Copies of this chain bind each other. A is one copy, B any other.
Amino acid sequence: MFEWIQKPTLLINQEICRKNIETMVNKANREKLIFRPHFKTHQSVEIGEWFRDFGVSQITVSSVIMAEKFLQAGWKDITIAFPFNLREFRQIKEIKEKCSLNVLIADIESMQFLQKNWANSLGFFIKIDVGNHRVGFSPDSTASIHKILQLANKNRNLIFKGFLAHAGHTYQAKNSNEIKTIHSYSCDVLSRLKNFYKADYPDIIASLGDTPSCSIANDFPGIDEIRPGNFVFYDEMQKQLGSCKNEQIALATACPVVSKNEKRREIVVCGGAVHLSKENIRKKGMQIYGKVVYLSENGWIFPEQEMWVTSLSQEHGKLVVSEEQFPTIQIGDLLGIIPIHSCLTANLFEEYYTLAGKRIKK
């Protein structure tokens, strides 16, 4: 089994992945939400096609390069959910000429630039900071929002699409209830803003998107569009947050065991920071860089007694296992590592492989 794997290899459980897509599509349909999944997690043209199988035609990306890539793959309705980068003005213009494009305005200066320089139709969302405190206007910044719209009105090519938020602080939540509280607040903020401006802009929408909220919440009052990304694979961090169960995690890095130390009861795999990323969570007083699973032809088997990656260098990963587990793992074996943060792990590989060894290109 897996004789074709010689080095760290990113395995995808296609069945789980498609099921994750289907579940989120169904939720969006049930809640009458536009589903505009974020493609930054998988960054794969081929996995993008699996979304199309479920009727998805609108997508979110987080960079101009990704927008170019997915445009080339035939996606014609794209939101770049990253603050408008005026240094990429020319590239954004070129993309816009070939598809329907929305950008994000998080500062007055960016709109001043667009207002002066943009000569083509372009949708824009105003980014609202619902508590993540990364970018965007606080919900009470009425003067700034007013100023943005005033500037946009001077350039008839700029079309106000609505308010957009990313409740990234759900990743710091201690439990599902806290995520639900954040979600309610986000819905409330965005829908109130939308309703306030709806008289002047009847077509505006409220767009929200983070995997914890979209996975855990069951209603989305006042929200028109969701943009989760990570749910396509999920990961250990999402598991800890309560966004998913083990059975929903679609990604694991297969790593060859290359060394064992009996005295320290440590296993070393070929699989380091350049494969797993240095994203980590704190658990039982340790920094954890991945969760270790057994591999079978049907996917991953979660051991009863949890095994963790406790330290990483560029190419090495060190695992701590129990006294019973230690002798069952041999040099030359393969172990699976569930990513802490699948977006960053997926970013480090140029391709995925299915359990049957089929290559899925990015």
A 221-269 contacts with B by CB, 8 A:
256, 258-261, 264, 268
Q: Is the CB of B134 within 8 A of A87?
A: no
A268 partner residues in chain B, CB cutoff 8 A: 83, 106, 134-135
A122, CB-defined interface residue at 8 Å: no
Whether, in the assembled complex, A357 has its beta carbon less than 8 Å from a beta carbon of chain B, the answer is: no
Is A168 engaged at the interface, CB distance under 8 Å to the other chain?
Answer: yes
Task: Let me know if A344 is at the binding interface, CB within 8 A.
Answer: yes
* Contact partner, A264, options B133, B278, B348, Cβ 8 Å: B133
A116 on interface, CB distance cutoff 8 Å: no
Let me know if B5 and A63 touch, CB within 8 A.
no
Known contacts A258-B82, A314-B40, A316-B134; decide if A63 and B331 are in contact (CB<8 Å).
no
Whether A100 sits at the interface, judged by CB under 8 Å, is no
With A82-B270, A85-B256, A258-B85 in contact, do A314 and B343 touch (Cβ < 8 Å)?
Answer: yes
Chain A positions within 8 Å of B, measured between CB atoms, are: 5-7, 40, 62-65, 82-88, 90-91, 106-107, 109-110, 113, 133-135, 168, 256, 258-261, 264, 268, 270, 273-274, 277-280, 311, 313-316, 318, 330-332, 334, 343-344, 347-348
Question: What are 19 pairs between A and B in contact, CB < 8 Å?
Answer: A6-B87, A7-B63, A7-B65, A40-B314, A62-B314, A63-B270, A82-B258, A83-B270, A85-B270, A87-B256, A106-B258, A106-B268, A110-B258, A134-B316, A135-B268, A278-B278, A278-B344, A314-B343, A314-B344
B264 touches A7 (CB 8 A): no
Q: How far is the CB of A311 from chain B (nearest CB, A)?
A: 8
Shortest distance between the CB of A216 and any CB in chain B (Å): 20
Are A40 and B315 in contact (CB-based, < 8 A)? yes
Tell me the complex Cα distance, A7–B268, Å: 37
Q: How far, in Å, is A24 (CB) from chain B's closest CB?
A: 19
- Cβ of A277: which chain B residues have Cβ within 8 Å of it? 273, 277-278
Q: Determine how many copies of this chain the complex contains.
A: 2
* Closest CB in chain B relative to A255 CB, distance in Å: 10
Cα A256 to Cα B109 with chains together (Å)? 14
Q: Are A135's CB and B91's CB within 8 A?
A: no
Residue pair A87, B315 in contact (C-beta under 8 Å)? no
CA gap between A7 and B84 in the complex, in Å = 12
The answer to whether B259 and A315 have CB atoms under 8 Å apart is: no
A-B contacts besides A7-B65, A110-B258, 19 pairs, CB < 8 Å? A5-B87, A6-B85, A6-B90, A7-B63, A7-B64, A7-B85, A62-B314, A63-B315, A82-B270, A82-B315, A83-B259, A83-B268, A83-B270, A85-B256, A86-B256, A135-B261, A274-B347, A278-B278, A314-B344
- The answer on a CB contact under 8 Å between B83 and A258 is yes
* Nearest chain B CB to A160 CB, angstrom units: 19
Which B residues are CB-close (under 8 A) to A318?
Answer: 134
Q: Residue A314 contacts which of B107, B313, B347 (CB distance < 8 angstroms)?
A: B347
Complexed CA–CA distance, A87 and B257 (Å): 9
